[in-house]
Amino acid sequence: QVQLVESGGGLVQPGGSLRLSCAASGSILSIYTMGWYRQAPGKQRELVAAITAGGQLNYAVSVKGRFTISSDNAKNTVYLQMNSLKPEDTAVYYCNAELQGTMSVVRENYWGQGTQVTVSS
């Protein structure tokens, strides 16, 4: 079994900052990519940022220059530093990991439970 546990969401004023964390635990053989997606009410879930085990980064255009994704491979943890937050960043943020578990022969996608980020004055 693999679990992704997120933390760090909350309410922040426009222009403020938040840091999200996501730790993967369980029977993990290899993690290939970890990332963050978000889903606002009435909208589709979208990629925010992702990082590969080799350190390649991918950001949504809307967050480039404001958000920074990083990881601690030894802790199977990914972080999302969000600066200069805007009301349109309000959404449920989901952690995602593409990994191979010890009981599997293929890569699989796992999701966290989601954490609410609300940007409002």
| Per-run averaged pLDDT (10 residues), the chain, 121 residues | 94 98 96 97 97 96 98 96 98 97 91 97 95
Give me the pLDDT at residue 33, please: 97
pLDDT of residue 69: 98
pLDDT for 105 equals: 86
Whole-number pLDDT of residue 104: 86
Which pLDDT score is estimated for 1?
Answer: 87
What is the SS3 string spanning the chain? CEEEEEECCEEECCCCCEEEEEEEEECEEEEEEEEEEEECCCCCCEEEEEEECCCCEEECHHHCCCEEEEEEHHHCEEEEEECCCCHHHCEEEEEEEEEEECCCCCCEEEECCCEEEEECC
Q: Token match 């293929």: residue?
A: 106
